Structure 1
Amino acid sequence: MAVRSRKWMILVATIWIQAFTGTNFDFSSYSSTLKSVLGISQLQLNYLSVASDMGKAFGWCSGVFLMYFPLWAVMFMAAFFGFFGYALQWLVIKQVISLPYFLVFLLCLIAGCSITWFNTVCFVLCIRNFPSNRALALSLTVSFNGVSAALYTLIANAINPKDDTLYLFLNALVPLLASCLALIPIIRQRPLQLSTYTINQDPFIFIVLNVLAVITGLYLLLLNSLSSEALRARTLLLGALILLFLPWCLPGIVCDRNWGFRTNSSLVDLTLNFIRN
């Protein structure tokens, strides 16, 4: 039972990583301020956006590093790339430091690289823990990458709705915090032991998690436009975090319920055999 629960905890950890590491989706939230501070044209600003996507072209490096380093180390290297790339951009946009356009371009490239490294970690975790249902696991976790912009908007509005530069600070810090939360289930990962019962049980839990994913997506899509006020944004953010925390509980409940049902059935069988004898 513990092994089955652990693999679901790892899946939920990948969901959290994906939900909080889609940092390139909120570029438009601070791009105008970045353009003003750097004094660049719209074309040059577009190149910075392209640089963030170009960073994904170096995602193959994460696979090479996985050949020599443990998974958790690659995850924190991804967090460091994002922290370094976005934190320095935040200092630039806050006018604490001054960097030429070329170096800002490289920072966007490094930050974009971190996204791909996070994706590699999540894909490897899904493939290792769900060899018979890897398509379901991968599609579920990747779907949460699309809610990153809505989550960051809620967090930013909950802190200070008028500060567009806050997005860069959150882009640097939040993925690092998400990596720390995911560290425990990843380190405690054990070799997977498959059984017919476990494989048959997986689709039901996937259905539950997919329903939660749809509810979370609709919640953020329909209510995110109402988060312009700080107090309202905090309330909506609390609801979103509750929806993201629910998957931590459901797999354990399902495993415990089925374990208890099988245990009770075994006790009943033993009692009947004792009476018959």
Structure 2
Amino acid sequence: MPTWLITGCSTGLGRHLAEAVLARGWNAIVTARNPATVQDIVARHPDSALAVALDVTDRTQVADAVRQAEARFGGVDVLVNNAGHGYRTAVEEADEAEVDELFATNFFGPVALIKASLPGMRARRHGAIVNVSSIAARRTSAGSGYYSATKCALEGLSDGLRKEVGPLGIKVIVVEPGAFRTDFAGRSLQQASTVIADYADTAGRRRKENDRSHGTQRGDPTRAAQVIIKAVEGEAPFRLLLGSDAVHEVRSAIEVERAELDAWEATSLTTDFPA
């Protein structure tokens, strides 16, 4: 049976995915910064679930999580990089230390887990890496520039990675969720303390105190978990959109990009050396 290592299982999509994997009788390394928050999951599946403390910015804990997976279940078959958090602020307002931490969590943490898991996957010539991104990588709103940047970086890395490990039997999937009914807009969304009045009508409108979306999102994380499992087990696109809002927003973004490409094509072509 496959073994899944899932980051960020205390709440939200990670928790729903861990429960769905275990319900199928598979093994799961259920991780959280505080493993006490996932002990209820392990209690229901004592033979197939293992709770592990994991702060993805801690390289020692990253290596230890993979080692525990290998010792208990023989290795990691599916790595799901789900842990992360949001950050809303105008670009000018951002705190440098907070941006560094954001990249450490949303980008460099997944990179560390990928590098720790790949030796075993390569040896077995089998595996899957699921990197949870966001539609923000395809359409960035005011106030989300830094968060979107982390997801763009993760998607660019994933695109190169899939071409490197695909011939070795390892699948790479980027998941692009829209808004889901989790606690992302509450507990997982951070913002800068600096407020510049000139951005009140752009980035300011999306500050946490002005966000009324929590609890009303259309996306169902239970259904999302089942779709991710289906993609890992069978045929899957490189970018897996989740949610009607994701499909609408990405399609609109593609149409705008196509129109701009067409409008500027003749100018772009003038930069080649003459034939």
TM-score, normalisation: structure 2: 0.26
- Between 1 and 2, higher relative CO (CA 8 Å, sep ≥ 6) is seen in 1
Structure having the larger proportion of residues in strand: 2
Greater Rg, structure 1 or structure 2?
Answer: 1
TM-score, normalisation: structure 1: 0.26
Structure having the larger proportion of residues in helix: 1
